[in-house]
Structure 1
Amino acid sequence: MSLQEEEFAPQGTDIAVGSPRRTRVRWKLFILLLALVTINYVDRGSISVALPIIQREFRLTPELVGLLLSAFFWTYALMQVPVGWLIDRFGPRKVVTASCLGWGAATAASGMAGGFLSMFIARTGIGITEAGVMPAGGKLNAIWMHSKERGRGATILDAGAPLGAGVGGILITGLIGAFGGWRMAFVIAGIVTVALGAFIWWYVRDNPRQHRAVNDAEAEYIEASQRAEDEEARALGGTSRRGLAPYLKFRSFWAMCFGWLGFNGVFYGLLTWGPLYLAQAKGFNLNSIGWSTFVIFGSGFIGEILGGALADRLRAKGYGTNVVMRSLLGASSVIVTAGLVGVTVVGDSITAVALLSVVLFFLRWVGLFWAVPATLGGRTNAGVLGGAMNLSGNIAGFVTPIAVGFIVGATGGYTGALLFFVGSAIIMGASVLALDYSRRLPV
């Protein structure tokens, strides 16, 4: 066993002298999922980076820009619960592979759009096909990770969002510069996604025992945690698939959903409108937008990885799950709210980028929420609960770009939009404090 594994070994775990060292396939799998989600957000955010060019080429008003930015989220949100059911029924491996192939093709097709309508249709196609990625990741977290490691598993998975948004700014602007336009950048991004889908099918498995590189020590380590969870589940009523309806009566279910909605109201607002805000309110050129986006969202990536490690470390030291989660996520909500208020009053461009970097650093701690579906519903129902959570978050995904478009169009500035994000942060803060992170729901 490595020093890192010993440090984070669950309390009460015996490390027998001379016992076989556990393989670390679960961590390699989650690094692969990090890469997958990174590319997911490169493709998802590519339109935002190229938007100053696309807006001029298609002659779009702020209202039409908002509608175009929201197109992805309509279908993405509507597919969440159905795709969560498919994941629980058929397994995450098949769903993730199909998702990669479909969204890669749709991304490439968006590079061939001739105007607002064809681009809108292509973006809805990306929304449909990307829908399975995050709920499947939540399911894999429940299947592959020991309960003491799921904080890190959740944040490694979700950290691909800010990493993809940050790296995507540089990649897409670089491809635009290399090919003299945005269209080929989208086509290349789509081809890379299809290739990754083939690799996902080759490497990912729905059960650790099915993976040729997993040894008995690693499989038993994971299964011991699952047996303990199954015993708790049987005491509460069983381990069978329950669907979504039985969970609707619990406060923690709704706190999970509204917390993710508030979180995405901030994150998707900055992801979709952030580059245009930097261009129009701060006068940044395309190259400056790419690097500023990298700094802002790169800070979110670092914050998310550190937040997950900190949460697991505190739990390993004996602090209760509710104490850890409510303290970390409550503090992050306060800092995010204060940072967004600060952005509305500063005039200096560098200070605004610095404040937005702080906002993203602490906002992404809420990526710990991807451990919540497995906590509330167990690994059997983690897919459908993850889908419900992501549905709620992506309601903010399609409402926020439209709302910001109308606010900017009506006021001619971004102060009202930033205050809209402040409201989302307040919803997030109230929800993360209301959620009980410590027990499975008795359904």
Structure 2
Amino acid sequence: MLETTQRAKSYAGTATPYRTRTRWLMLSMVFIGTIINYLDRSNMSIVAPLISKEFSVSPVAMGFMFSAFSWAYAAATLPGGYFLDRFGTRKTYGACLGGWSLLTVLQGFSGSFMSLFGMRLGVGAAEAPAFPANNKLVTNWFPQKERGVAGSVCSMGVYVGTALLTPPVFWIAQTYGWREVFFVSGGLGLVWTLVWFRVYRDPDEATQANTAELAYIREGGAITTDTAKGQAFRWDQLRKLLTYRQIWGVCIGKLAATCTLYFFLTWFPTYLIQERGMTMLHAGFASIGPYLAAAMGVMFGGAWGDWMIKRGMSVNFARKAPMVIGLLLTGTIVLANFTSSNILVVGILSFAFFAQGMSSTNWVVVSEIAPRNLVGMTGSVISFASNLAGIITPITIGFIVQSTGSFQWALGFCAIVAMIGVFSYTVILGKIERLHID
């Protein structure tokens, strides 16, 4: 930290000919990490028909399998936030990346439904600090006017990776079996763990960043000094955090937006195969459109928000508009119930997922409101609420499909929950501003 301060002081009195872009290198690290993260989340949805057949499980049981990840994830979010604030982004993210990747590999060795269920719980617990760590990186490395795009890059990894990797994963599952899917995806994570520890550094430790870049991000509002690292966790800070309407507004809105995401991450391939009559390979290629559309929605929402801020609009309006409009348009997912054309269905779902991607800029709002000394904890609280959707959505859809034999009300469920998110962002959230907790 002393070295960083001296570098910043030396910059103040000199003209530096260029400004390094180390912040984008660090962002690329979590972008690739997020691709691997969501590959290890979504691989279960791809192999679900094969697992259901091998272990003879019902749609409801499969719904619980899908939700196992989120049960453990939600339970581990607050401890994950504590470790993130205490030990920093590099150690916490690297440890959880290696942990979830190893457990993903072990899923391939499961000999029963229950052992696979237990491994899935472990993957969820290990991934819990990942998105709070992404948010902490954006808060530490980026000025306010660049956070929309930076946060969108983090979120875009969810969709780009799933779009590009889903067809080859379907091919691996159909050609070699479901176990090999876990071996390959987990192995990629273990390799990336080594790269992460070799490359990533926080601003105060990154020798790749020159004084011009450090001054630029600090003057723009980045938290370049990890003030919370090494501090003891205090329950009164968490209780105080939960008294703010902004936290509840983002939590409810994030949960609502994530319900549609978890439909795509869990039941979407089964929907295409069972409801729309596609083969596994056709379903794999049909998945590309919605996920690429969601990726474009994420980048559009983040860039649009940054564009409005740079032109003098309030942070409050610029950050809320993409989220509210995105969730409103997510409701169009129900239109897929009214056509028999698979091409039109994929188009409708692509548009709805584009809109859901727009609403994913809510992580940027977390960067704007989190207290400076509780960035990790704030992200974990929001992540906890978000992953309740990972519990609610697959189980609810499992019951709907088993009781009705159709996905029609499953799509209706996603649309209804999206409208609850619109209410939360417009009425509950209030003003977007930095919260302060001593």
Instruction: State if a TM-score over 0.5 links the two structures.
Output: yes
Q: Does 1:183 align with 2:176?
A: no
2:49 corresponding residue in structure 1: 52
1:218 corresponding residue in structure 2: 213
Identity of aligned residues (%): 30
Q: Count residues with an aligned counterpart.
A: 418
Q: Does 1:109 align with 2:106?
A: yes
2-side partners of 1:212 and 1:439: how far apart? 32
One-letter code of the match for 1:441?
L
The within-5 A match list for 1:59-208 is 59-178=56-175, 180-206=176-202, 208=203
Using the TM superposition, name which of 219-228 and 251-260 deviates more: 219-228
1:295 corresponding residue in structure 2: 289
2:39 corresponding residue in structure 1: 42
String of CA shifts for 1:212-249, please: whole Å, max 9, x gaps: 2111100111122348999xx9xxxxxx9873211212
2-side partners of 1:298 and 1:436: how far apart? 32
Q: Does 1:279 align with 2:273?
A: yes
2-side partners of 1:406 and 1:156: how far apart? 35
2-side partners of 1:291 and 1:258: how far apart? 33
2:204 corresponding residue in structure 1: 209
One-letter code of the match for 2:178?
W
Post-superposition offset of 1:379: 3.6
Q: Report if the CA contact (8 A) 2:144-2:222 is conserved.
A: no
2-side partners of 1:82 and 1:204: how far apart? 22
Q: Report if the CA contact (8 A) 1:154-1:367 is conserved.
A: no
One-letter code of the match for 1:311?
G
Q: Does 1:405 align with 2:398?
A: yes
Residue segments in structure 1 that go unaligned for 5+ positions in a row: 1-14, 234-239
2:335 corresponding residue in structure 1: 342
**1:75/1:414 CA distance change after superposition, 3 Å:** same
Task: Name the Cα RMSD after superposition.
Answer: 2.2
SS of equivalent residue, structure 1 residue 319: coil
2-side partners of 1:16 and 1:299: how far apart? 47
Using the TM superposition, name which of 363-372 and 82-91 deviates more: 363-372
SS of equivalent residue, structure 2 residue 374: helix
2-side partners of 1:152 and 1:116: how far apart? 41
String of CA shifts for 1:378-432, please: whole Å, max 9, x gaps: 3421110110001001111111111110111001111111111112111211122
Post-superposition offset of 1:156: 0.7
TM-score, with length taken from structure 1: 0.90
Post-superposition offset of 1:344: 2.2
2-side partners of 1:187 and 1:333: how far apart? 36
Q: Report if the CA contact (8 A) 1:275-1:289 is conserved.
A: yes
One-letter code of the match for 2:207?
R
The within-5 A match list for 1:324-363 is 324-337=318-331, 339-363=332-356
Q: Report if the CA contact (8 A) 1:278-1:289 is conserved.
A: yes
Post-superposition offset of 1:374: 2.6
TM-score, with length taken from structure 2: 0.91
One-letter code of the match for 1:329?
M
**1:182/1:228 CA distance change after superposition, 3 Å:** closer
String of CA shifts for 1:113-135, please: whole Å, max 9, x gaps: 12210110111011011111101
Q: 1:386 aligns with which of 366, 379, 392?
A: 379
Q: 1:267 aligns with which of 261, 264, 267?
A: 261
Post-superposition offset of 1:297: 1.0
1-side partners of 2:186 and 2:75: how far apart? 23
Using the TM superposition, name which of 36-45 and 421-430 deviates more: 421-430
Post-superposition offset of 1:99: 0.7
1-side partners of 2:201 and 2:72: how far apart? 27
SS of equivalent residue, structure 1 residue 438: coil
2-side partners of 1:41 and 1:47: how far apart? 11
Q: Report if the CA contact (8 A) 1:143-1:379 is conserved.
A: no
1-side partners of 2:136 and 2:149: how far apart? 14
Q: Report if the CA contact (8 A) 2:297-2:355 is conserved.
A: yes
1:425 corresponding residue in structure 2: 418
SS of equivalent residue, structure 2 residue 287: helix
Post-superposition offset of 1:328: 2.0
2-side partners of 1:378 and 1:27: how far apart? 24
**1:90/1:408 CA distance change after superposition, 3 Å:** same
Q: Report if the CA contact (8 A) 1:145-1:153 is conserved.
A: yes
1:12 corresponding residue in structure 2: none
Q: Report if the CA contact (8 A) 1:49-1:289 is conserved.
A: no
1-side partners of 2:224 and 2:416: how far apart? 37
